[in-house]
Homo-oligomer: A and B are copies of this chain.
């Protein structure tokens, strides 16, 4: 059996890579939320000096990468590979940013699970001796996502209470073969799970079973239990999906409720009119790169699991009556590891 794998589908790094720097850039609404002090830069408006929301999103992603690299006292030439994707069709935010950055590039699509997917592959490249440094990054933008997936904002459509609010923001993370920590120690890539939910305004409920499948598989593969974690953060189930996930995990014999939070719940206050919470690739990216990274560095948590969830639907699949296939990838991050 492969030396870096345990159980059905979990990867255990023999030489865990370190997260040597992070950067997060968010929009004005996220900058008024409870995590505002953890972000590197808060935009004054949704356009960031560009002529379209799509160009703004690409600039946010590009600037997040440049900021993370600068904070590590490096230049883009020092980064071996970039692992990245976003929500826009053909991941244009990412591709256009990669054009400017000139870093060898693997394009990913995992919907809102992309931050975990990029961290997984970025870590795999370093632990495997393929790279010395990689950057993992993803973005989303409320206005470009609404235009593409739902309705033009100009229509003023009402949002149902189960709907989530796409975060405007990008989070970037520089990973390296270094002994500084925090370390990425385990990855449990997910399988696609689809319980038949067709309501694109209730993504949290659709994605919860995928998160549960990955979390339970992680426990089974590793022998860990919720007690091994100070924090298990799904992203982004929102308030409705989080409750469903807690219940479903409980039915499989694990109680994660005491340590479970959700990036979509963390990023906004109840008063910000976001209904079930935040969503979008950028949500788990900025909460992880901003807030959780700070908690780890300050030793307020020592061991966490990010379980980023993605709804792999398209407007075409919805129009053709399909339900929503979902996926979740889990990443274990530890502040210190024995012997290093």
Most buried by B among A9, A55, A312: A312
Is A105 within 8 A of B190, CB to CB? Answer: yes
Q: Is A280 an interface residue (CB 8 A)?
A: no
Is B4 within 8 A of A96, CB to CB? Answer: no
Q: How large is the interface on A (under 10, 10 to 19, 20 to 34, 35 or more residues)?
A: 35 or more
Is A130 within 8 A of B11, CB to CB? Answer: yes
Q: Determine the chain B residues whose CB is within 8 A of the CB of A258 once the complex forms.
A: none
Is B108 within 8 A of A107, CB to CB? Answer: yes
Q: Is A222 an interface residue (CB 8 A)?
A: no
Q: Is A246 an interface residue (CB 8 A)?
A: no
Within 8 A of B (CB), among A1-24: 1-5, 8-9, 11
Asked whether A96 and B317 contact (CB < 8 A) given A107-B109, A108-B107, the answer is yes
Asked whether A96 and B322 contact (CB < 8 A) given A89-B89, A109-B91, the answer is yes
Q: Is A260 an interface residue (CB 8 A)?
A: no
Q: Is A333 an interface residue (CB 8 A)?
A: no
Q: Is A327 an interface residue (CB 8 A)?
A: yes
Asked whether A2 and B130 contact (CB < 8 A) given A90-B313, A95-B325, the answer is yes
Closest Cβ of chain B to A327, distance in Å, is 6
Q: Is A35 an interface residue (CB 8 A)?
A: no
Asked whether A191 and B11 contact (CB < 8 A) given A88-B314, A128-B128, A130-B2, the answer is no
Q: Which of A65-73, A117-125, A153-161, A288-296 contacts B (4 or more CB under 8 A)?
A: A117-125
Is B99 within 8 A of A192, CB to CB? Answer: yes
Q: Is A301 an interface residue (CB 8 A)?
A: no
Q: Is A104 an interface residue (CB 8 A)?
A: yes
Q: Is A247 an interface residue (CB 8 A)?
A: no
Q: Determine the chain B residues whose CB is within 8 A of the CB of A109 once the complex forms.
A: 85, 90-91, 107-109
6 more CB-based (< 8 A) A-B contacts, given A90-B109, A90-B313, A105-B192: A2-B126, A2-B177, A90-B314, A92-B312, A92-B322, A107-B327
